[in-house]
Amino acid sequence: MAFSEQQEVLVKEAWEIMKPNLPQLSLRFFTTILEIAPAAKNMFSFLKDSEEIPKNNPKLKVHAVKVFKMTCESAVQLREMGKVVVAETTLRYLGSVHLKKGVLDPHFEVVKEALLRTVREAVGDNKWSEEMRGAWSVAYDHLAEAIKAEMKAEA
Ligand code: HEM
């Protein structure tokens, strides 16, 4: 099924609402990841040795914002080109980082769920809809598939 202009609009609309609040949303995103999968804590260098989720850690923010932003970029690419195109070097890097950290397919589902909950909280119930959820899901799934394929190619 093609990614529609309306779906692209829904992803971008949420992203615009999220942008001014990235430090707080990054924290919510990681809190949600650990609520769903507490064991994921040990994977992240910035979580492993601390009792609480650090509030101002640049690495935490980088990961969260990359997931938000790359999903948004994927939505644009899906609409324009019908597929997600991550630059070759970026994809190779993403593949190797995640492979080295021991990330497995089910972890991508955890991150997806945390992403969807974070977007929902960010936009609020007035703007959140099944269509918005669907648009973010499809964009994320295509991005995750690209990273997973690279991880398999490298393994
Ligand atoms: C690192 C993006 C999914 C775990 C990174 C980095 C990027 C990234 C860009 C490198 C950050 C840096 O240079 O410091 C993404 C994207 C994802 C995704 C776009 C999904 C579409 C996941 C999943 C997991 C995960 C599902 C596992 C729960 C990690 C870990 C690191 C990492 C453990 C190393 C971070 C550290 O300890 O400093 N990811 N990631 N990622 N990612 Fe992901």
Question: Do the Cβ atoms of 44 and 110 come closer than 8 Å?
Answer: no
pTM: 0.96
- Tell how far the Cα of 126 is from the centroid of ligand 1, in angstroms: 31
The C-alpha atoms of residue 113 and residue 69 are separated, in whole angstroms, by 16
Q: In ligand 1, which atom is closest to the CA atom of 48?
A: 37
Q: In ligand 1, which atom is closest to the CA atom of 44?
A: 37
Query: CB of 111 closer than 6 A to ligand 1?
Result: yes
- Taking only the tens of pLDDT, the chain with its 155 residues reads 689 999 999 999 999 999 999 999 999 999 999 999 999 999 999 998 888 898 889 999 999 999 999 999 999 999 999 999 999 999 999 999 999 999 999 999 999 999 999 999 999 999 999 999 999 999 999 999 999 999 999 88
Residue nearest to atom 6 of ligand 1 (CA): 63
